[in-house]
Amino acid sequence: MAQKKIRVAVVGFGVSAKVFHLPFINALTDKYELVSLLQRKGNEASEKYPSVKIVRDIDELVADPGIDLVVITTPNDTHFPYTKKALEARKHVVLEKPFTNTTEEARQLVRIAADSGKVLSVYQNRRYVSDFRTMKEILDKKLLGDIHEFEAHYDRYRIESRPTAWREAPLPGSGILYDLGAHIIDQALYFFGMPVSVTADIRMQRPHAKVDDYFNLWLNYSFTKVILHAGMLVREPGPRYMIQGTLGSFIKYGEDPQEARLRAGELPVGEDWGQEPEAIFGLIHTEKDGKIIKEKYPSHKGSYADYYNELYESIINGQPVKEKPEHGYNIIRIIELAIQSNKEKRTIDCTGLMDVGY
């Protein structure tokens, strides 16, 4: 007997939908069937997917009884109202990052999801990349001893403005902290749990900037210090990750290859999908079995497809959701506390987090 397919509607037809979601929904044909797309303007979606129903309005989309799962990839100000509508229409929901614009909206979605009995999952795809999986193994095996410092960078170089980019407009949820911070804050919370306090430096560095384009966050875990950094004026990036422990260090340059390959139009297939080249394997320098080692540490394969494989098990077979709505709430809470820290120029205690496990 063929297994049940989840009938999917994707909301939005921008980069997020085209690069991070549709390739995997369409590749996992034994699990998912794309039945509907919401594109508010233009005909690109109908040209690309002529057999898929194209709608212009979220109310029409969620009213369709043939849809099981709604994937929301639209701008941040739509995340709360669209997700609320979908859950109240008894649909499962995948919601792009950041979860919402405020903790109050996030708290409401956590409650609405619980009341609905439907799956609400945040698309934290940076848990499904090569470097994250490799670091998880190193930390799980305690190859560096007790970690006293973890530093993550999400740096770019783009000095020019993008006048049509909503993320660079002075709107709620815009700016680099909401955009890129949502990735690396989640990784820190996954690895280390709930921090004691946050200290933040958030800036507008480019002369045309209307929203933040730089941040440096310090999350305090008593013994462990986590440094999270992103900027738009880094032409030559340093290490992406640096982990320091009582036994040794792990230094990682380079980027998981999946996004670049997807943006180039490649399909997520083949034995080498998600495999980093050996040239950017991380360096581990530590003590193992009484000997000092300093060598390349082979990277694990990344696989965004695993997110959708695991989501299928949650929706169809009742397996626990890995990217919980409470995780999305915690990221927004940290962002708001960081904004307060920057404004008041002081360290802020981390209160009001939902410690639900990762």
pLDDT score recorded for residue 172: 86
Determine the distance from the C-alpha atom of residue 303 to the mean position of all C-alpha atoms in its chain, rounded to a whole number: 13
> Does 2 have pLDDT greater than 70?
no
In the chain, which segments carry CATH 3.40.50.720? 6-123
* DSSP one-letter code for 280: G
Task: List, in sequence order, the alpha helices (H) in the chain.
Answer: 15, 22-27, 44-48, 58-62, 79-88, 103-116, 130-140, 176-179, 181-192, 258-263, 305-317, 325-344
In the chain, which segments carry CATH 3.30.360.10? 127-302+334-349
Judge if the upstream peptide bond of residue 98 is cis by omega within 30 degrees of 0.
yes
For the segment 11-49, what is each residue's pLDDT rounded down to a tens digit?
A: 999 999 999 999 999 999 999 999 999 999 889 999 999
- Which fold, 127-302+334-349? Dihydrodipicolinate Reductase; domain 2 (3.30.360)
Name the amino acid, one letter, at 14.
G
| CATH code 3.40.47.10 for 6-123 | no
Provide the percentage of residues in the chain whose pLDDT is more than 70: 99
pLDDT score recorded for residue 146: 98
Q: Is 88 helix (H, G, I), strand (E, B) or coil?
A: helix
Residue 162 vs residue 258, higher pLDDT: 258
Cα distance between residue 326 and residue 274, in whole Å: 28
pLDDT score recorded for residue 74: 96
Angle at 185 between CA 143 and CA 142, to 5 degrees: 10
- Rounded to two decimals, the pTM is 0.95
CB neighbour list of residue 9: distance below 8 Å, 6 or more residues apart: 35, 36, 37, 38, 61, 64, 67, 69, 70, 71, 91
Q: What is the mean pLDDT of residues 264-289?
A: 95
Task: List, in sequence order, the alpha helices (H) in 233-295.
Answer: 258-263
> Does 169 have pLDDT greater than 90?
no
What's the alpha-carbon Rg for the chain, to the nearest Å?
A: 21
Cα distance between residue 12 and residue 79, in whole Å: 11
pLDDT score recorded for residue 165: 81
CB neighbour list of residue 139: distance below 8 Å, 6 or more residues apart: 147, 191, 243
Cα distance between residue 7 and residue 146, in whole Å: 45
Maximum C-alpha span of the chain: 65
- 306: tokens are 């695993």
